[in-house]
Amino acid sequence: MKNHDRGYLLTEQANPHSQNLDRLSALEIVELFNQEDAKAVAAVGQEKEAIAAAINTIAEAIKHGGRLFYVGAGTSGRLGVLDAAECPPTFCSDPELIQGILAGGMNAMVRSSEALEDREDDGANAIAERNISDRDVVFGITAGGTTPYVHGALKEAKHRGAKTIFFCCVPPDQFPIQYDIEIRPLVGAEILAGSTRLKAGTATKLVLNTVSTGVMVQLGKVYGNRMIDVSVTNSKLEDRAIRIISDLTSLSREESAKLLERSGKRVKLALLMQWKSVDVATAEQLLQNTQGHLGKAMV
């Protein structure tokens, strides 16, 4: 392991606003966090064009048979795995479509394995093992910008012709631009110096929320602001599905529940059946013709 001095990185600086952190009351700590967290939101807003470019790139790749892979170590990797895991229940998407790659594997979700982030070859091997190609997108996440595992993955992805997206919280003069799209919310020094699970982690979660939701909107998984491809797997989600149908069609709750059952508990299909006055098979064909986009199927 190379002993590089990373003290110059923005994410490693000491925050002057928290220099007396150990002497603050609980309320003062909460107030300080609230003030600093607002900076993470503002920093993400400064990166809106890059985030939009990421959404467009990923959506186009998926439309043409590609996949999205988040890659990271520690907090960054865990947030990528979390976002990938939340897409199937929210959007009824194929679990293969968006995947998280975490240094150390799934065991690292709950047990620290930060030493593994120094292995650049492991990152490259993770890309090779998944047969990533020029149809795919690889989204590397590293708060300080230097994680070898992430760069190994991104370099291998570039070699294979995949689109590469890079997320970090340091400016280009601290880590030069190397990839197709770079998202760099400059959240500033952490309250607890170097603890990038704080503002950097918050910015990461904000960006991933926006990216995955934006992609699913473009793929037709949303109608208005409703998650019409929600996976109805428990009573809470069944209630939500019934309410979506009732709100959008003006059917009673009882009628909406029956329609949901007839559709095989597929909200999008139920809505199309009602609006076009067609049976399940016809509605399925209409959606197939528009690659699952409800708005286009309604034309």
Residues noted as catalytic: 86, 117
DSSP assignment of the chain equals ------TTSGGGSPPGGGTTGGG--HHHHHHHHHHHHHHHHHHHHTTHHHHHHHHHHHHHHHHTT--EEEEESHHHHHHHHHHHHHHHHHH---TTTEEEEETT-GGGGTS--GGGGG-HHHHHHHHHHTT--TT-EEEEE-TTS--HHHHHHHHHHHHTT-EEEEE-SS-TTTS---SSEEE-----S-SSTT-TTTHHHHHHHHHHHHHHHHHHHHTT--BTTB-TT----SHHHHHHHHHHHHHHH---HHHHHHHHHHTTS-HHHHHHHHHHT--HHHHHHHHHHTTT-HHHHT-
**Cβ–Cβ contacts within 10 Å for residue 221, how many?**
22
